[in-house]
């Protein structure tokens, strides 16, 4: 059975990130179906909306939107209905529930979640820290870090670190190299949450082979030898167990799932650290 496709129009008065995440999460539940995404960010004027409407008319499909100001939402819904495209305001049910619970009207502020507040600058600070201390570049004062990730090569340490930084956590990561001991500062660290990442040998070898192929490098090295990779992973897990560091198997986890698990661990770790 072949894969079927549909047009998915995502119309936002901000960056469109909310819509993209919602649309992809929903579409992923339907096997054999893929969305052709049309993303329209920063739609805040009538002329901008008219260009969006013309594209919807040219390729009818499903329309999701987050337009909080003026009558843009009503105009979009009318045009979508005329073109036979089902249309939904993704945030409206949430606004209705909040309004009912809080007993107050919402303020129409496009992109309000992206305001340059203290939380925003905390994320920027965390991102700068994380990029400066990637792949073994440990800070002089390791206690500045919120999270330290350890794992053999190709266990997704860097992308996970960047994702965590975007959530406001200063993250550093260290590759575990055969024959090279972990710096004593890490084993002595108290404030940071230390997490060990590991994956199956098959998964690690697959990723490493792809990496070597992209670099036109020799694929017969110990870097992708089945026995050598298994020994690396075993040694890393023994290290994690000896230090009683929490571990996460990333074999079948996405970066987002790994980061979510780490955020949960960090919440508990932070509470215990404060209580001490």
Q: Which residues are annotated as a binding site?
A: 151-158
Going by their DSSP bridges, the two strands 87-89 and 33-40 should be labelled as: unpaired
End-to-end CA distance of the chain: 59
Q: What is the DSSP string of 105-129?
A: PPP--TTGGG--SHHHHHHHHHHHH
Torsion from C-alpha of 9, 14, 17, 20, nearest 10 degrees? -10
67: nearest Cα among 9, 119, 26: 9
- Which residue ranges are tagged as binding site for ADP? 151-158
- HSE (CB half, 13 Å, CA atoms) of 178? 10
User: How far apart are the C-alpha atoms of 46 and 31, rounded to whole Å?
Assistant: 37
Rounded to 5°, the CA angle 62-4-86 comes to: 15
Structure tokens at 152: 């053999």
Structure tokens at 237: 């897990």
Going by their DSSP bridges, the two strands 247-249 and 33-40 should be labelled as: unpaired
152: nearest Cα among 133, 125, 179: 179
């Amino acid at each position: 059975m072949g894969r079927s496709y549909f047009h998915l129009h995502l119309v936002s008065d901000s960056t469109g990130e909310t819509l993209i995440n919602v649309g992809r999460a929903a579409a992923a539940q339907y096997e054999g179906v893929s969305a052709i995404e049309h993303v329209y960010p920063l739609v805040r004027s009538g002329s901008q909306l008219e260009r969006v409407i013309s594209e919807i008319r040219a390729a009818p499909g499903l329309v999701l939107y987050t337009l909080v100001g003026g009558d843009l939402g009503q105009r979009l819904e009318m045009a979508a209905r005329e073109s036979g495209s089902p249309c939904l305001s993704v945030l409206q049910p949430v606004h209705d529930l909040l309004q009912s619970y809080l007993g107050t009207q919402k303020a129409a502020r496009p992109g309000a979640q992206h305001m340059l507040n203290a939380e925003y600058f905390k994320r920027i600070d965390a991102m700068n820290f994380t990029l400066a201390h990637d792949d073994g570049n440990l800070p002089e004062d390791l206690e500045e870090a919120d999270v330290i990730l350890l794992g053999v090569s190709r266990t997704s340490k860097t992308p996970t670190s960047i994702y965590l930084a975007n959530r406001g956590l200063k993250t550093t990561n260290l590759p575990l190299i055969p024959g090279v001991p972990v710096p004593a500062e890490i084993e002595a660290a108290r404030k940071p949450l230390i997490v060990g990442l590991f994956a199956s040998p098959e998964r690690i070898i697959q990723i490493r082979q792809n990496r070597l192929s992209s670099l036109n490098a020799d694929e017969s090295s110990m870097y992708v030898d089945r026995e050598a990779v298994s020994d690396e992973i075993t040694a890393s897990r023994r290290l994690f167990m000896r230090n009683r560091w929490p571990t996460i198997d990333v074999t079948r986890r996405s970066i987002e799932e790994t980061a979510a698990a780490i955020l949960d661990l960090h919440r508990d770790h932070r509470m215990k650290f404060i209580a001490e």
